[in-house]
C-alpha cells in the first residue's frame, strides 16, 4: 500500500498527521490507492459470499443476523445513545442544536448501519472467521483449562481493543484506507452519533479484531453483554462532552481525549494522535497520546474540506452530499489524496 508518511507538509487535504503526495510518485500513489479501494471492495464481497454460504449451510442466517443487530444496535445501545444526546445538551463541549443538519446526517448513517451495513458486515465477518478456521487453524488455541473464564473474556476484549487500535493507525497511515476513513473525520459537529458516520467499506479494515475471539474461542465464548458494553464505550468516546475522566483518563479514552484525535489542525509535530478506542496504553506505546489539559475544545473535521460535508451549501443538497461521501473513495483522483 501507498503510505502517507512520504507526503510533504502544508496542504491540509489529509488528516493533520499526514499531507498529500508531491513529486514524481504522486499520480502513481493516487492510482495505487484507487486500485486498493477496488481490492478492498472485492475482498469484502468475496468474504461476504463465503459467510452467506456458511450461514445458509448451517441454517442459521436469520439467527446470526438478529443476534448481531441486538448487540450492535439493540435496545441497550439505543438507550445509551439517547442518554448521551441528552447529556450533550446539558454539558456540551461545543454547543450545537440537537437537530442540526450534521446530527441528522449522522442519524441517517446510524439507520444505514442498522439495516444495510450491519447485515452485510455480519456476513463478511462470518466469511473471515470461516477462512481462518479453514486455512489458519493453527492460530486457534486449545482450551486453556487452568485459566478462569473471566480472564479469557478479559484477554479477548484486550485483544479486540489492540487490533482495533492497530487498524485505526493503518487507516491513517495508508492512503487506500484513508480514502475510506476520511468520511468519519469529515464531521465538523462531532457527537455521539458520529460513531456511525463511516464508509461501509472501512469496516473491512477492522476484521482483525475477530482474531482474538477465534484464537481464544475454545476457552469460552465472549458474552454479548461484553460486546455491547464495548460498543457503548466507543459511542461515549465520540460524544460532544468535555469529560476527561480525571486520573482515569490516563487509562481509558475519554470524550475530551478522543476529540483531540478529530482535531482539524495538528496538535504538534507528531501529527495524528489518540488512536485508542477504549484503552490509552496503545497510544502511549507509540508516543501518540496527548491528554486534554482544560483547553477550549478543538474544532473537528478536515482542513480544506476534501470530503463533501453537509455544512456547506443549502439544506436541500444534503442527500447528494451523503451520496458523494460514499462515492468519493472510488474516484481515481480523490480530493482526499491531496491537490493535483
Beta bridge partner(s), residue 92: 241
Note the helical H segments in the chain: 26-57, 61-73, 75-90, 101-112, 118-135, 149-173, 175-185, 211-215, 224-237, 255-261, 281-285, 318-327
At 27 the pLDDT is 56
At 340 the pLDDT is 56
- Contact 216/156 with Cβ under 8 angstroms? yes
Q: Which domain holds residue 166?
A: 27-337
How far, in Å, CA of 40 to CA of 43, rounded? 5
DSSP string, 32-54: HHHHHHHHHHHHHHHHHHHHHHH
Our count of domains for the chain comes to 1
At 19 the pLDDT is 35
- The owner of cell 453537509 is 310
Note whether residue 215 is domain-resident.
yes
How far, in Å, CA of 44 to CA of 38, rounded? 10
Query: At a CB cut-off of 8 Å and minimum separation 6, what does 242 contact?
Result: 91, 92, 93, 255, 256, 297
Note whether residue 20 is domain-resident.
no
At 28 the pLDDT is 59
Note whether residue 4 is domain-resident.
no
> Shortest CA distance to 33 belongs to which of 184, 203, 178?
178
Whole-model pTM? 0.91
How far, in Å, CA of 254 to CA of 273, rounded? 14
At 12 the pLDDT is 38
At 9 the pLDDT is 32
Could you tell me how many helices (H) and strands (E) the chain has, helices first?
12, 0
Helix then strand then coil, in percent of the chain rounded to 5, is: 60, 0, 35
Query: At a CB cut-off of 8 Å and minimum separation 6, what does 189 contact?
Result: 94, 96, 100, 102, 103, 240, 300, 311
What are the grid coordinates assigned to 141, written together?
A: 488455541
DSSP state letter for 207: G
- One pLDDT digit (tens) per residue for the chain, 340 residues: 544 443 323 333 444 444 332 223 445 578 899 999 999 999 999 999 999 999 999 999 999 999 999 999 999 999 999 999 999 999 999 998 888 899 999 999 999 999 999 999 999 999 999 999 999 999 999 998 889 999 999 999 999 999 999 999 999 999 999 999 999 999 999 999 999 999 999 999 999 999 999 999 988 889 999 999 999 999 999 999 999 999 999 999 999 999 999 999 888 888 899 999 999 999 999 999 999 998 899 999 999 999 999 998 887 788 899 999 999 999 998 999 876 5
Residue 46 φ/ψ, nearest 5 degrees: -65, -45
Note whether residue 230 is domain-resident.
yes
Note whether residue 15 is domain-resident.
no
Residue 319 φ/ψ, nearest 5 degrees: -55, -40
At 266 the pLDDT is 84
Note whether residue 10 is domain-resident.
no
- The owner of cell 484506507 is 177
Note whether residue 1 is domain-resident.
no
What are the grid coordinates assigned to 43, written together?
A: 475482498
Note whether residue 2 is domain-resident.
no
- Contact 1/326 with Cβ under 8 angstroms? no
Amino acid at each position: 500500500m501507498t503510505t502517507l508518511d512520504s507526503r510533504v507538509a502544508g496542504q491540509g487535504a489529509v488528516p493533520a498527521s499526514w499531507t498529500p503526495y508531491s513529486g514524481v510518485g504522486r499520480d502513481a500513489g493516487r492510482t495505487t490507492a484507487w486500485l486498493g479501494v477496488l481490492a478492498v471492495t472485492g475482498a469484502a464481497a468475496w468474504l461476504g459470499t463465503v459467510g452467506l454460504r456458511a450461514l445458509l449451510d448451517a441454517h442459521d442466517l436469520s439467527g446470526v443476523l438478529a443476534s448481531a443487530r441486538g448487540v450492535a444496535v439493540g435496545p441497550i445501545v439505543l438507550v445509551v445513545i439517547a442518554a448521551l444526546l441528552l447529556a450533550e445538551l446539558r454539558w456540551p463541549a461545543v454547543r450545537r442544536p440537537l437537530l442540526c443538519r450534521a446530527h441528522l446526517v449522522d442519524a441517517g448513517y446510524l439507520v444505514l448501519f442498522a439495516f444495510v451495513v450491519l447485515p452485510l458486515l455480519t456476513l463478511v465477518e462470518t466469511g473471515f472467521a470461516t477462512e481462518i478456521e479453514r486455512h489458519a487453524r493453527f492460530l486457534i488455541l486449545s482450551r486453556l483449562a487452568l485459566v478462569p473464564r473471566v480472564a479469557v473474556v478479559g484477554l479477548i476484549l484486550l485483544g479486540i481493543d489492540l487490533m482495533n487500535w492497530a487498524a485505526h493507525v493503518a487507516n491513517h497511515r495508508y492512503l487506500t484506507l484513508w480514502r475510506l476513513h476520511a468520511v468519519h473525520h469529515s464531521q465538523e459537529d462531532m457527537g455521539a452519533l458520529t460513531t456511525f458516520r463511516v464508509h461501509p467499506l472501512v469496516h473491512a479494515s477492522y476484521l482483525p479484531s475477530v482474531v482474538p475471539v477465534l484464537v481464544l474461542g475454545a476457552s469460552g465464548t465472549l458474552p454479548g453483554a461484553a460486546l455491547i458494553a464495548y460498543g457503548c464505550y466507543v459511542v461515549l468516546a465520540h460524544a460532544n462532552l468535555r469529560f476527561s475522566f480525571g486520573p482515569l483518563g490516563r487509562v481509558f479514552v475519554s470524550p475530551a481525549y478522543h476529540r483531540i484525535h478529530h482535531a482539524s489542525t495538528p496538535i504538534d509535530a507528531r501529527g495524528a494522535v489518540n488512536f485508542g478506542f477504549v484503552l490509552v496504553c496503545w497510544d502511549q506505546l507509540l508516543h501518540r497520546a496527548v491528554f486534554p489539559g482544560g483547553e477550549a475544545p478543538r474544532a473537528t473535521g478536515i482542513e480544506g474540506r476534501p470530503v463533501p460535508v453537509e455544512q456547506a451549501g443549502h439544506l436541500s443538497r444534503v442527500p447528494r452530499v451523503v451520496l458523494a461521501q460514499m462515492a468519493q473513495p472510488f474516484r481515481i483522483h480523490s480530493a482526499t489524496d491531496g491537490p493535483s
